[in-house]
Amino acid sequence: MNKQLYLRKIKGKGRGVFCYTSISEGEIIEVCPVIIIAAEEFADLGNTALMDYSFYFDKEANSLSLTMGFGSMYNHKQYPNAEYVLNREERLMVFTAYENIKAHTEICINYGGDYGIDYQKWFTDRRITPV
C-alpha cells in the first residue's frame, strides 16, 4: 500500500499531498492512525494552528482527532478525487481514491466528508479564504 506520497507547495494553498504513481479508483491511498483530543482539551487546541489540521472524532462528545501520516495535509475540494472514512473503533482514518488519479496530481478530499458538499463553514470558522 506504499503509494510514495509527497508534499508539494501550491501557490495560494500552502502544501498539498501528491503521489509519484497513478492510483486507481477505489484503491486505498493511505491508512492513518489518529490521536484523539478530548472535549476538555478542545478549547486549548482551538487557540493553536493544530485546529486547522483536525477532524471531528465524535461531534456529540465534542472530541477531535489529529490524523497522522499525510492524513491532516490533504487539501479540500468540493468535488475531490479522494474520500476518507474514520474508523472510530480502530482509531484509523482510511483515504481511498474516489476516481482514477494520475501521478503527480494533487490528492484532495472534501472536508465535509461528502462529495459535492460546499463546506464553506470550515473555512470561515478559521478565517481562511478558500482557493
Q: pLDDT digit string (tens) for 7-22?
A: 999 987 889 999 999 9
Q: Is residue 55 part of a domain?
A: yes
Residue 66 lies in a domain: yes
Containing domain of residue 11, as a range? 5-110
Question: What's the whole-number mean pLDDT along residues 29-44?
Answer: 81
Question: What are the grid coordinates assigned to 58, written together?
Answer: 465524535
pLDDT(65) > 60: yes
Return the CATH number at 15: 2.170.270.10
Q: Is 82 in contact with 55 (CB distance < 8 Å)?
A: no
Q: Could you give the CA distance from residue 53 to residue 55 in angstroms, rounded to a whole number?
A: 7
As separate numbers, helices (DSSP H) first and strands (DSSP E) second, the chain gives: 2, 9
pLDDT at 59: 73
In the chain, % of residues over pLDDT 70: 69
The pLDDT score that the predictor gives to residue 13 is: 80
Residue 119 lies in a domain: no
* Residue 127 belongs to a domain: no
Check if the beta carbon of residue 54 is closer than 8 Å to that of residue 112: no
Number of domains in the chain: 1
Model-level pTM?
0.79
| 103 within some domain | yes
C-alpha cell at 101: 488519479
User: 3-state class of 16 per DSSP?
Assistant: strand
